[in-house]
Structure 1
């Protein structure tokens, strides 16, 4: 469910069995009512029909949210555990996708790490999430990014968004009489109030996200990604429309529509020599200029 589609050989390697056994397991699962779909071809493989997949019921919604935040916070300091914990995070996110409430009110715009140890971000997130569950208003003292001035606000939490290494609370602000995004790291103090509020029926952060002001125009990106990072990229879902083409020598061609050129540039630069931008040309030129600037710094 987390990886969307896997080949028989990949499943066999994961479960440490002969590929023949995967087909046996598939038959056994289907007898139990869990139907495994398959697709032929170079990009084919086995995948789960979400409508027939059994829900993971040993996590409640709050536990899933806390595990996601805890893993991302831990990974910001213990990068050597990234392979195992990122895979665990994928499975947790797969469980999350089975919870309609979570899907409509918690949005992962990207998978960058969050440093929740700055200020009281972790504590304030937990408090805001508690208020969201109870539908209680929250009084916050908030520091503006541009002026560092603090203001007192009363907000109604509607949703939470992870975007560009930061966690935000999307909330109705009583003072401004409109929806605003509050970076949780900038909250100086938060107090749950007794006043209650209602979230409109059908509110869905996935539909609202493009209008929240986080991003500008989406960008269609094409990359060549080389091993060993190629395997890691294949294990993650970076965009709903991503296409991965396997080339010779374990290289992959990655195509997807991504959000935020600054975030994309940071992501590509983080892969170093293991990624090459093919399209768009503007992003390729920016990466090239950044590399030339680095050479200039390190040549001194």
Structure 2
């Protein structure tokens, strides 16, 4: 598949999504949106019709989908769902209430199509994440996605951790929550070496391995943890 084919497939998918979310669309509107000619949109609509999509043409108005037709729900991987949760935390820090309202409604629609198991894990991650604006734009960790996965699936993680004195130790930890400060992500985890909950800076985790061994879910909320500090 060449680049033009890839672009067209992407556009066809986007047109179908647009048709499902809006009652009626004109060829001119679609052409402007995707920066193509009206004639290209005509060809795209014919291609969708030939693929079995029941698109109706209302004279003088535009295109609409046959009543009751729905495309299969979008499928997200667990990592993609987790990324959406972090994006949600970012948006909630925005000072524009209308923007927050629109995004919150959108993310709820996205969550509605997640598989139940992924939806449950995404909700758990949302409960176990606190976010503050990161004024230091440098990317200083590659472990966030893997730690999200370990947290929501209750997998023990093995880390090589460097402390403030530049001493590295190997720890087996039970990830509990993720907290963003103004400069770094912090992991709250039960450390089996120290036998207590500890904060770990993600930029000091030099090596991470998510093990197949699991741990029992800690029966407290993130707020419960903060209240005990």
TM-score for both structures, normalised by structure 2:
0.49
Q: Could you say which structure has the larger radius of gyration? A: 2
TM-score normalised to the size of structure 1?
Answer: 0.38
